[in-house]
Amino acid sequence: MKIAVFGKTGQVATELQRRAPEGTVLTVFGRDDVDFANPDQVNKIACSLDVDAVINAVAYTAVDKAEDEPELATQVNGHSVAQLAKGCAETSTPLVHISTDYVFEGGGETPWQPNDPTGPKGVYGKSKLVGEDAIQNQTGLAFVILRTSWVFSAHGGNFVKTMLKFGAERPELKVVADQIGGPTPAAAIADACLSIARQLASGTTGGTYHFSGAPDVSWADFAREIMAQAGLPTAIASIPTTDWPTPTERPLNSRMDCSSLIADFGIKRPDWRKGLAEVLKDLAA
């Protein structure tokens, strides 16, 4: 099977390259090959592809910085994704695209269903929604939009690496305890995308799905597990979101209902504690 992957150095893109099974040939497009700030360039490449499926792991992910760069965030996460979808439809190539819980407004305590009304609060979530809408409205396209949350891995910047860095330097860390979600190993997202790509290419019907690690947890409890597994004595003090202001409002409720992905694609929620153990092993190596 031949898969084109957009994104080379990101958390999920890196894991896709590490985890593609034997017999799956990846053609990987990094920033030097195609700039998602330039939608026309994306369309040209997408129209020239001769593969069985496309996985898009490119995104403008700097949530707070996006508030100062709304045009760039929307080009990368919105308009270029639209051109990718158009190219995939033209070449009849199924598209697997990764999105985020930030497309929701983030209130309540009920896990978000894939067909719940969206209502992003910041530029990042809005820009990701532009991409989602373009894919959903593209006629003749077989696609899966996979919304995920709280991604971590051994590479790139993420919460696990931040906690390990500060945990090694300080006896106590204050961490937000009223935001709840599912930490998701990038490796599990890569496996899910590869499986979905294979299934879409064999004719399975797609749509919009949720995929996050289980069990749901607060950032503070996630931090406690990181310290415990890393053998660090750092104490984690719980604080409310109001004590940790950020340029973009963070969702309090990032819980996602992942049951339709299990039913339609046979892909279960990964246990993030096992994924964390793998990442710590990776970092130690």
Ligand X SMILES: NC(=O)c1ccc[n+]([C@@H]2O[C@H](COP(=O)([O-])OP(=O)(O)OC[C@H]3O[C@@H](n4cnc5c(N)ncnc54)[C@H](OP(=O)(O)O)[C@@H]3O)[C@@H](O)[C@H]2O)c1
C-alpha of 122 from chain center: 17
Beta bridge partners of 53: 3
Site for ligand X contains 112 (CB under 6 A): no
Answer for which of 104, 143, 150, 222 binds ligand X (CB under 6 A) is 150
Minimum distance of ligand X from residue 137's CB (angstroms): 19
Q: Which is nearer to ligand X, 77 or 138 (CB)?
A: 77
Provide the mask over 176-215, with x wherever binding to ligand X is found by CB under 6 A and - wherever it is not.
Answer: ----------x-----------------------------
| Burial group, residue 165, by CB count within 10 angstroms (0-12, 13-18, 19+) | exposed
Q: Which is nearer to ligand X, 165 or 170 (CB)?
A: 165
Whether residue 60 lies in the annotated active site: no
| Burial group, residue 112, by CB count within 10 angstroms (0-12, 13-18, 19+) | buried
Minimum distance of ligand X from residue 64's CB (angstroms): 13
Q: Which is nearer to ligand X, 107 or 140 (CB)?
A: 107
The helix, strand and coil proportions of the chain, stated in percent and rounded to the nearest 5, come to 45, 20, 40
Half-sphere CA count of 129, side-chain side, radius 13 A? 16
Q: Write down how long the chain is.
A: 285
In angstroms, the CA 226 to CA 163 distance is 7
Answer for which of 2, 31, 65, 273 binds ligand X (CB under 6 A) is 31
Answer for which of 52, 60, 104, 182 binds ligand X (CB under 6 A) is 60
Site for ligand X contains 12 (CB under 6 A): yes
Q: Dihedrals φ, ψ of 176, to 5°? A: -65, 130
Minimum distance of ligand X from residue 120's CB (angstroms): 12
DSSP 75-103: IIIIIHHHHHHHHHHHTT--EEEEEEGGG
Segment interacting with ligand X (CB under 6 A) among 5-13, 173-181, 233-241, 267-275: 5-13
Site for ligand X contains 69 (CB under 6 A): no
Three-state secondary-structure class, residue 32? coil
Which tokens belong to 168? 């090694």
Residue type, 122: G
Answer for which of 4, 13, 190, 276 binds ligand X (CB under 6 A) is 13
Site for ligand X contains 143 (CB under 6 A): no
Residue at token pair 């979101």: 241
Answer for which of 16, 20, 46, 61 binds ligand X (CB under 6 A) is 61
**Which residue of this chain has its Cβ atom nearest to ligand X in the complex?**
10
Minimum distance of ligand X from residue 81's CB (angstroms): 9
Residue numbers at the binding site for ligand X (CB under 6 A): 7-13, 31, 35-37, 57-61, 76, 98, 100, 128, 148-151, 156, 186
Residues recognised as catalytic: 124
